[in-house]
Amino acid sequence: DVFVAAWRHVVSVFRRSGAHNVRWLWTVNSTNATAAPLKRWWPGNSYVNIVGIDGYYYRRADTFESVFGTTITEVRRFTRTPILISETATGPVAGPDKIADLFAGVREYHLLGLVWFDETQHHGIYHQDWRLEDSPAALGAFRKAVDAREERVIRSKQKAADTRRPTGRDRSVPP
């Protein structure tokens, strides 16, 4: 297809020019049905460093699985390239409690992370105020989720250090 050929061409031009410090993020919108055959748009593992998925929590009933699950599953059928939620937010209709679900989903699916869409839009459910700073509850939930993630990282590093620490029986004495 034209899109795949154009993508590969641009990547090849950069590589031939010696621009090897570029990361290629191939981004798709989340789908809630398998009607969108994503593989036909895939440039290939050698042309993409990160898969991005854009998706939003519009409604109260939205979950990580309902917003991103189908798309992640479909992408995993044709590549093991790392995935980043490249554009996301929870709107006021979905509520700030969905932020914890978003972070938990990123962790559960072993994704690289997420990028928050911090803009305001109007005129309907698909155009809400996505900004954190306009909602003390959303900002608090976001901070709490980030703090919890940081605590897990610190505990994980401490645990790894503890497993490397020699016990009394394992100590070697330098000559």
CA distance 115 to 55: 11
68: region left, alpha or beta (phi > 0 left; psi from -120 to 50 alpha): alpha
> What is the spatial order of strands in the sheet that 83-90 belongs to?
25-29, 50-57, 83-90, 114-116
Model pLDDT for residues 89-117, shown as the tens digit of each residue:
999 999 999 999 999 999 999 999 999 99
Give the pTM.
0.83
Highest mean pLDDT among 27-41, 86-100, 122-136, 139-153: 86-100
Residue 48: both structure tokens together: 């993409």
CA distance 164 to 7: 45
Amino acid 4 reads V
Residue 158: both structure tokens together: 């401490």
Do 43 and 7 form a contact (C-beta atoms < 8 A)? yes
Across the chain, what does the average pLDDT equal? 87
CA distance 122 to 56: 15
Whats the size of the chain, residue-wise? Answer: 175
User: For residue 68, is pLDDT > 80?
Assistant: yes
Amino acid 40 reads R
Buried b (16+ CB within 10 A) or exposed e, 65-100: eebbbbbbebbeeebebebbbbbbbbbeebbbebbe
Phi, psi (deg, nearest 5) at residue 89: -175, 165
pLDDT at 37: 83
pLDDT at 103: 95
**Model confidence at 173, in pLDDT bands (50, 70, 90)?**
very low
CA distance 167 to 122: 61
Model pLDDT for residues 19-59, shown as the tens digit of each residue:
989 999 999 999 865 566 899 999 999 999 999 999 999 99
Q: What is the mean pLDDT of residues 157-162?
A: 72
